[in-house]
Structure 1
Amino acid sequence: MNEIKVNNIRLDHLSIPLERDTFFRSVIRGISGQLEDLIGLDEASGFISIVGQEIGTEINDSYKKELQVSKLSRDQICGVLQDLKTRIKGNFHIISVDENKVIFGNNTCPFGDKVHGRPSLCMMTSNVFGTIAAENNGYAKVTLDKTIARGDKYCHVTVYFQLTDEAKEAEGREYYEGS
């Protein structure tokens, strides 16, 4: 790094909490906040959902390529969803899994403290999870039961693999293969 001085003070020695990751999380927070303020939470969530779907498709393709499969099994879907969040510094863990659904818990958001008060950012999780699950399973429904963004101490996310009575009653977003 080049030594930059102002008034004989080295700027790179200042305790400024600024680096690429924090900067980009701040940019995303600012964009989501402006969207929420200008067009409303529902529309901002919709916009972020589109981005999440694109990213979910890319991530899904990467995992299928590396695992050398054309479709992920349900066990692989659960593992991939947990792994991708771990890679981006989330702390997602599986609370329970059965033939109909997987429930995740999380106490560390990949957006860090930048997610507080920005519930539209949770659409990134919903759409990445929903896209990956649906593209490999044909259908998925994602519910964001608790979120750090809305002020909860942790996240509680359910991914349904089938449209059971429980899934029908749950408030969330549905995803379908190819959509």
Structure 2
Amino acid sequence: MVEAIGEHSNLTAEVSIGRERFLAMVVGSLNDVLSDTVGPREVEGFVNLVGMAVAEQILARYLAAAGTARLDLSATLDALLDWNRDLGGDIAISERSEKKVVLDDRRCPFLGFGLDSRAMCRMTSHVIGHMVAESQGYGRVTLADRASRGSRGCRIVIDLEPNACDGGGQSYYAKGDR
């Protein structure tokens, strides 16, 4: 039990927000304020730019750890799996070919934070898309199933060829290939 705060306060319950929940509140509020101010389409462009910046920072760490200037697809997928697990997800590769990779996440690391998880779904898609594109030159990410929409988990389909059947995903290109 926490002592009352201030002379006239009757607050005696401990309120635990914590760093992660606070950051989730910031991200959720930023998404809401931007959406209300500039509109959902502009927010998507903004989230894409933020996703690219975050992907570059994450990729730089994995490149430094690998001691290389570019990750191949296997190393990129390993980095994505490691990154997701580090966030608290439970992700695995369920399908892999030269044309497509399917990731299944049985535990979304962002559910339960009281924020609009769709914003974090978009951010995750952008980070994955940008990292795959930097590795392969191109990647299209489709969020086929989402825990934030009531599915048991998340299914992320990554097409590695631009001419693959479009499942409604977002295309990403390496910086030098735009």
Bin for the TM-score computed over the shorter chain? 0.7 to 0.9
The aligned counterpart of 1:68 is: 67
Q: How many residues align?
A: 171
Q: Cα distance, 1:108 vs. partner?
A: 2.5
Secondary structure at 1:149's aligned position in 2?
A: helix
Secondary structure at 2:70's aligned position in 1?
A: coil
Secondary structure at 2:95's aligned position in 1?
A: strand
The aligned counterpart of 1:58 is: 57
Superposition pairs of residues 1-179 of structure 1, within 5 angstroms: 6=5, 14-114=13-113, 117-166=116-165, 169-178=166-175
Secondary structure at 1:136's aligned position in 2?
A: helix
Q: Cα distance, 1:6 vs. partner?
A: 2.9
Spell out, residue by residue over 1:73-132, the C-alpha distance to the aligned partner (whole angstroms, 9 max, x if none). Answer: 111111111111111222222111111121111133232323764423322111111111
Of 54-63 and 37-46, deviating more is 37-46
Q: Cα distance, 1:140 vs. partner?
A: 0.8
Q: Cα distance, 1:155 vs. partner?
A: 1.2
TM-score normalised to structure 2 length: 0.84
- Residue type matched to 2:110 in 1? F
- Residue type matched to 1:159 in 2? I
Residue segments in structure 1 that go unaligned for 5+ positions in a row: none
- Residue type matched to 1:35 in 2? L
- Residue type matched to 1:175 in 2? Y
Q: Cα distance, 1:57 vs. partner?
A: 0.8
Secondary structure at 1:114's aligned position in 2?
A: coil
Q: Cα distance, 1:43 vs. partner?
A: 2.1
Secondary structure at 1:131's aligned position in 2?
A: helix
Identity of aligned residues (%): 25
Residue segments in structure 2 that go unaligned for 5+ positions in a row: none
Of 152-161 and 122-131, deviating more is 152-161
User: What is the root-mean-square deviation of aligned Cα atoms in Å?
Assistant: 2.4
CA contact (8 A) 1:100 1:164 kept: no
CA contact (8 A) 2:48 2:126 kept: yes
Q: Cα distance, 1:151 vs. partner?
A: 3.6
